[in-house]
Amino acid sequence: MDNNNKNNSDHDVIDEDLYEEIDDAELIELVEAERINAIKRAQYKNKQNKPKRPFPKWVFWLIAIMMIANVFAFFPKVISVPAIDFLITSSKLSMQDDIRTYKKAVVVIETEQSRGTGFSINENGTIITNEHVVNGEKNVTVAFPDDGLHNAKVVATYPEIDLAVLETEGGKFPSLDLAKNPTFTEESLIYFVGNPLRFQGIANKGTIIEKTLLGDWKKEVVMIDAPVYHGNSGSPVIQNGKVIGVIFATLGTDNYGKVGLFIPIDYLYSASEKTFN
């Protein structure tokens, strides 16, 4: 993979917003912007005398669930389908048995200052997440989809690769397997599960683009063509049923536009003396 043209690009800047908690006002602004764009697209289509795209019934079902869960303080009068594409994809993927299994091991991690994603790698509740998600805390709260809230202790952090290891108290937990010798083939399919935009347990998919070296990193990370949003930090990247990496940021590039970034899981093996496999 050729990274010479990207490593020193002025446009290759990490999207720092991914590291921050999105508030209700920002979320409302995001949806409102998509609503306005949808109106403009509809007006343009009317001028071109093109038939309107029918509104799928399953979108109404999805909206109903969102409203019941009080996800939004209000909902726009006009819903832009592209604005909720990642939710629609998650709904479809979640019908698969393997995706449902993955989701059970993915947790919400909360501190006083941040909210992100993590995932359990054994029945004792050892959890992997990003170092920036735990944000210097020694103890955090984790929430499993089926096992509820638990306290977790931050037992190790690796700032140089933005990873952290947590140990959860009590219970026998669902877990994901880590790949021993992960490979990163261009255009290959990957899945990931996380908690973007205040949603929980959102499954999505994408493809590997290539590796790239960030300006302040010593090791290459992997770019993916996938819908990565606020809160996806710490999401497991899964291929062939095993975790091959951890999402940690987004990147703006000249060649591919905005892409997701993940840290290869084998970096954790070399950084830690603990055996993870």
Q: At residue 72, does pLDDT exceed 60?
A: no
Please check the confidence at residue 204 and state whether its pLDDT lies above 50. yes
What is the pTM (predicted TM-score) of this model?
A: 0.73
> In this predicted structure, what is the pLDDT of residue 156?
96
CB 109 within 8 A of CB 232: no
Alpha carbon separation from 82 to 1, 32, 91 (Å, rounded): 32, 12, 15
Q: Is the predicted pLDDT of residue 157 greater than 50, yes or no?
A: yes
Looking at residue 9, what is its pLDDT?
40
Q: Give me the percent of the chain exceeding a pLDDT of 90.
A: 57
Q: Which residue has the higher pLDDT, 63 or 183?
A: 183
Average pLDDT score over the chain = 81
pLDDT at 40: 65
| Poorest-pLDDT segment among 79-93, 152-166, 234-248 | 79-93
- Exposed e or buried b for every residue in 147-157, given b needs 16+ CB within 10 A? beebebebeeb
> Residue 266: what pLDDT?
94
- Model confidence over 44-57: pLDDT tens digits? 666 665 555 565 66
Reported as a single tens digit per residue, the pLDDT across 133-148 is: 998 899 999 999 998 8
- Confidence (pLDDT) at 276: 72
- Measured distance CA(201)–CA(235) in Å, rounded: 10
CA angle 150, 193, 21 (to 5 degrees): 70
**Residues forming a β-bridge with 14:** 251
Tell me: pLDDT of 217 over 70: yes
| Mean pLDDT calculated for residue range 9-34 | 48
For residue 201, report the phi and psi dihedrals to the nearest 5 degrees: 65, 40
For the chain, the straight-line distance linking the first and the last C-alpha, in angstroms and rounded, comes to 28
- Cα separation, 262 vs 240, whole angstroms: 17
- pLDDT in the model for residue 86: 83
Residue 84: which residues within 8 A CB-CB, separation 6 or more?
Answer: 59, 62
Mean pLDDT value of segment 242-260:
95
Q: Dihedral sign, CA of 189, 104, 228, 78?
A: positive
Closest Cα to residue 116, out of 220, 208, 170, 193? 193
- Supply 187's token pair: 């255009």
Residue 42 has pLDDT above 80, yes or no: no
| Residue reference for tokens 């698969």 | 96
| Lowest-confidence region among 14-18, 66-70, 190-194, 206-210 | 14-18
Q: What is the tens place of the pLDDT at every residue in 101-133?
A: 999 999 999 988 888 999 999 999 999 999 999
Q: Can you give the three-state secondary structure of the chain, one letter per residue?
A: CCCCCCCCCCCCCECHHHHCCCCHHHHHHHHHHHHHHHHHHHHHHHHCCCCCCCCCHHHHHHHHHHHHCCCCCCCCCCCCHHHHHHHHHHHHHCCCHHHHHHHHCEEEEECCCCEEEEEECCCCCEEEECHHHHCCCCEEEEEECCCEEEEEEEEEEEHHHCEEEEEECCCCCCCCEECCCCCCCCCCEEEEEECHHHCCCEEEEEEEEEEECCCCCCCCEEEEECCCCCCCCCCEEEECCEEEEEEEEEEEECCCEEEEEEEECHHHHHHCCCCCC
Whether residue 209 is predicted with pLDDT greater than 60 in this model: the reply is yes
Percent of the chain's residues with pLDDT above 70? 70
